[in-house]
Amino acid sequence: MPFKTPVRTALQEHPTSWGFWLTVANSTVARTLLASSKTAPDGGFSWVLVDAEHGLIADNHYYDLNQAVSSMNASPIIRIPWGEEWMIKRALDSGAHGILVPMCHTPEDAAKIVKYCKYPPTGTRGYGPLYSTHAFSELSAAEYDAGADKELVIGVQIESQSGVDNVEAIAKVDGLDMLLIGPFDLALQMGVTRFGPDHEAAIERIRKAAKDAGKIAAIFCTTGEQAKMRADQGFDMVSVITDVGLLGEAMARELNNAKGKGASGEKRAGY
């Protein structure tokens, strides 16, 4: 059968591919959140960012989380802690449909990441996808081998001043699929106010560089309202919210409702 992933399919069929951040190593939570979106107009979430950088997720959790997410017709994309070859290999061999590497500062960084993700002769990925096909419905080992280099999503995060300065060159790196903006680190690293004029100018520069190079422009958001704004701006992949943000906000809201106090009016400042 053809090598197809939900995120690639969504990008072909819809103007925006929606995802969310998973920070807890719990497959039941992942399945529950994905099931809740099944009745959404134009489909639900097509990808989940499995956060092994800042989330409480380690590589021994990858396999079960990949199984849970892929079983709900969504693509697990693992954010590894750093751009190390062995970390990329562990994520892909566990069945990830894509990887995201933080803190990409230069085109040389991006080229190295692409090399680590692809099999020889294009790259240097070691061969051993013993469990990779388990997260791809009915895909044979031979079909995985033939399609992995083309179909797996390779993404980097642009979240520093040097990343912004080099973003046009980064976006042109052959084999790189996606540039994702981490707004929190981007503002901190640039020393500017988050969502202020300088920050928004950098965000737009990154989005434009990705689109001009024919790459996927992606961004992390913390609310649905924010996600809609970014989709309207032309981002292709938009993360709507985090698991912990959703759970914490919902619990606080319903407790206030139970006490007859209604919404607090305070907006969540972090994840």
The number of folded domains in the chain is 1
Q: How far is CA 204 from CA 1, 100, 211, 232, in A?
A: 39, 20, 11, 12
Residue 271: the pLDDT is 78
The token duo for 54 is 């800042």
The token duo for 228 is 């809609």
Residue (of 96, 268, 41, 176) closest to 18 by Cα position: 41
Q: How far is CA 38 from CA 29, 56, 74, 109, 211, in A?
A: 15, 26, 11, 37, 29
Q: Is the peptide bond before 121 cis (omega within 30 degrees of 0)?
A: yes
Contacts 24+ apart (CB under 8 A), 127-134: 128/89, 128/93, 129/92, 129/93, 130/93, 131/63, 131/93, 131/94, 131/95, 132/92, 132/93, 132/94, 132/95, 133/95, 134/63, 134/66, 134/67, 134/95
In a domain, 234, yes or no: yes
Residue 266: the pLDDT is 64
Domain region containing 165? 6-243
Residue 38: the pLDDT is 82
Residue 43: the pLDDT is 83
In a domain, 265, yes or no: no
Residue 41: the pLDDT is 77
pTM confidence score: 0.96
Residue 265: the pLDDT is 58
Burial 4-41 (b: 16+ CB within 10 A, else e): ebbbbebbeeeebbbbbbbbbbbbebbbebbeebeeee
Assign residue 49 the CATH number of its domain: 3.20.20.60
Residue 268: the pLDDT is 66
φ/ψ of 252, rounded to 5, equals: -65, -40
Q: Is 54 a catalytic residue?
A: yes
In a domain, 152, yes or no: yes
The token duo for 260 is 């007859």
In a domain, 182, yes or no: yes
**Local structure of 5: helix, strand or coil:** coil
Residue 11: the pLDDT is 97
Q: What is the pLDDT of residues 41-95, one digit of tens each?
A: 778 999 999 999 999 999 999 999 999 999 999 999 999 999 999 999 999 999 9
Catalytic residue among 54, 105, 134, 199: 54
Please report the beta strands in 6-86, taking only residues with DSSP state E, as ranges in sequence order.
Answer: 17-22, 47-51, 75-79
In a domain, 34, yes or no: yes
Residue 261: the pLDDT is 86
In a domain, 218, yes or no: yes
In a domain, 260, yes or no: no
Q: Which residues of the chain are under the pLDDT cut of 70?
A: 263-268
Whether the CB-CB separation of 133 and 146 falls below 8 Å is answered with no
In a domain, 256, yes or no: no
